[in-house]
Amino acid sequence: MFNVNHYTHDQSYVPPINRPHAIDQWTDRTPAELPLVDAWKEAIPVDAPECDADSTRLYVPYDALLIERGGVLRTVLHNDGRIDTDGLSVCPSCKGFYDPLHSDGDCRWCNAPLPSRRSTSGVTLVVGGGQR
């Protein structure tokens, strides 16, 4: 199912953080090698119907869901696989999810080149194609 709010926010916008809970959960549930704010900016928007959230982002290297509700980054959860991956593709090298419509030629997680032809949810994207 397409979420109309999926791409309406600026990827660089970080909602206010529920302190100390969200930061504590980030530290407890991940290696926390980067700040929670940076993880939010790098994470990809996903639909997690089981979460009580207004928006959810997946930080792929840690398989962590960042939960925003009521305009506040509330908590961090482990991704247990109950996310809607429609519209996402999988990097052939690292197996991490990425958004083919918002990705350049390299995987944001492992820097491996992404295929020039990507299909997702019935849409095929061809990068670098010439005139036909």
Mean pLDDT of the chain: 85
Q: Average of pLDDT values for 12-33?
A: 92
Residue 19, helix vs strand vs coil: coil
Q: Is the pLDDT assigned to residue 104 strictly greater than 50? A: yes
Q: Is the pLDDT assigned to residue 110 strictly greater than 90? A: yes
87 and 120 Cβ atoms separated by less than 8 Å: yes
What gap in Å lies between CA 66 and CA 6, rounded to an integer?
14
**Strand pairing partners for 57?**
45, 66
What gap in Å lies between CA 42 and CA 108, rounded to an integer?
8
What gap in Å lies between CA 4 and CA 7, rounded to an integer?
7
Q: DSSP characters for 88-108?
A: -EE-TTT--EE-GGG--SB-T
40 and 66 Cβ atoms separated by less than 8 Å: yes
> Where exactly are the structural domains of the chain?
21-78, 89-125
What gap in Å lies between CA 118 and CA 24, rounded to an integer?
37
Percentage of residues of the chain with pLDDT beyond 70: 80
Task: Tell me the pLDDT tens digit for each residue of 82-102.
Answer: 999 888 999 999 999 998 888
Task: Tell me the pLDDT tens digit for each residue of 47-63.
Answer: 999 998 999 999 999 99
